[in-house]
Amino acid sequence: MTALLYTTGILLALVSGARSVLWLTSYANSATDQALAAASAIGMTAAMYLLSARAALPSANRLALNAVVAGLFLLSIFATFDWAESGYQAQQSRADITGRVTDEYQALLTDTGTLTQSQQSNAHALTAIGHNSKSARIAADVEATISTRRQLLDQLQRQQTTTAPSTGTSAQLLGDYRLALWLLLATLLDAAGMLCLRTATADHATHPQGERESIDPLLEQIRDEISAGTHGTQPAVKRVAKLHGQPEDRIRQIFQALLDQGDLSRNGIRYQRTDEP
């Protein structure tokens, strides 16, 4: 499970880094600026995820680490938000251009159709009064117009065939409320990744090899204290944490490990020594 959490966290970190790179490089002009923007985006993303994972360790200065992570998290949220909205606007722009081009083709087809009918009528009229040479020239113009019309029809068919199917239909249905969807997406992508890394780091700190024989001095000490009755028949997380000067989350993880290993049991919401009835 720990390996999967690490893998998921790293995968989401890579996605977050790519989004941040696209965001920052979009504001850069020269190649040097783009390289600096890409390096900055990668560095900030790496710092956010690594510091978030470091904050899960018992010896970490959580207040300072979480403050830095929070700032980087806000930047990452904005990067994802901007990436999603820019993609949506670009798609809408392409759809508008495609629609206008299609309308122009259809208008040209209508105009050439009208022109062809007019030219044919004029040719017939001139033939009737004996102006055969003028009629022949108009007939040639008619053939040219018909050829142009066929080319327009072919172009219109290719335009409709190559037009990519519209995606993001749900965003169109949401209208301006799509901004809330982008915000939720931006928040959850990074929050899920950091939570995976934090959880994996905390699990690894408690069970470095995932087995009981992997010695955690604090875990072994608390196990001995519980067995000796130091914390009574129902050890309390808050009391043990205060006694050892450790965060309650750390002690709660140790209690969970002792529960998994059979040294503790649950009595309702309380932990209880297994040698007690």
Reported as a single tens digit per residue, the pLDDT across 68-123 is 888 888 888 888 888 777 777 777 777 777 777 777 767 766 777 776 677 667 76
Residue 252, burial from CB neighbour count under 10 angstroms (0-12, 13-18, 19+): middle
What are the residue boundaries of the structural domains of the chain, listed by start?
A: 1-206, 211-273
Are 240 and 202 spatial neighbours (Cβ–Cβ below 8 Å)?
no
Please state which CATH number belongs to domain 211-273.
1.10.10
DSSP lists the bridge partners of residue 272 as: 265
The structure tokens listed for 86 are 């820019």
Are 264 and 235 spatial neighbours (Cβ–Cβ below 8 Å)?
yes
Three-state SS for 264?
A: strand
Buried b vs exposed e over 111-128: b needs ≥16 C-beta within 10 Å? ebeebbeebbebbeebee
Angle at 253 between CA 184 and CA 229, to 5 degrees: 155
Cα 35 to Cα 19: distance, rounded to the nearest angstrom: 15
User: Which residue matches tokens 């790293």?
Assistant: 10
> CA torsion angle for 219, 222, 226, 228 (degrees, to 10)?
120
* Separation of CA 5 from chain center: 18
Q: What is the pLDDT along the chain (277 residues), one digit of tens a residue?
A: 677 778 888 888 888 888 888 877 887 788 888 888 888 888 888 888 888 888 877 766 778 888 888 888 888 888 888 877 777 777 777 777 777 777 776 776 677 777 667 766 776 676 767 666 766 776 677 677 667 767 766 776 666 555 554 545 555 666 777 778 777 777 877 888 888 777 877 777 665 554 444 567 889 899 899 988 888 888 999 999 999 998 989 999 999 888 888 888 888 888 888 875 5
Query: What are the helix (H) ranges across 163-213?
Result: 169-174, 178-206
Cα 2 to Cα 204: distance, rounded to the nearest angstrom: 7
Three-state SS for 146?
A: helix
